[in-house]
Amino acid sequence: ENAALNLERERLSAVLTGMAEGVLAVDRDERVLFANPAASQLLDLPDAKLVGRPLWEAIRVPAIQDAARAALA
């Protein structure tokens, strides 16, 4: 079961990493959980500067913050 879960995580990571579109994942508290390379490039921020930080602090683009809040609602 653990091996299957790890394999699924690796597959998901590979898909998201290879996407041309920017992808951010945030938790319910609007903290960034994941940023793929395309998102990091679009935002001109390394993913290390995004992951773990509150969205409002990491990304100061109101349209992105609004979209995240709408998706969470």
Q: What are the beta bridge partners of residue 31?
A: 54
Residue 1 is predicted with a pLDDT of 75
pLDDT tens-digit series, residues 15-57: 988 899 999 899 999 999 988 999 999 888 887 788 899 999 9
- Three state DSSP letters for 8-64: HHHHHHHHHHHCCCCCEEECCCCEEEEECHHHHHHHCCCHHHHCCCEHHHHCCCHHH
Residue 17 is predicted with a pLDDT of 87
Residue 45 is predicted with a pLDDT of 85
Residue 21 is predicted with a pLDDT of 92
Residue 16 is predicted with a pLDDT of 87
Q: Which residues contact 56 (CB under 8 A, 6 or more apart)?
A: 30, 65
Question: What are the C-alpha distances in Å from 23 to residues 1, 15, 36?
Answer: 27, 11, 6
Residue 13 is predicted with a pLDDT of 86
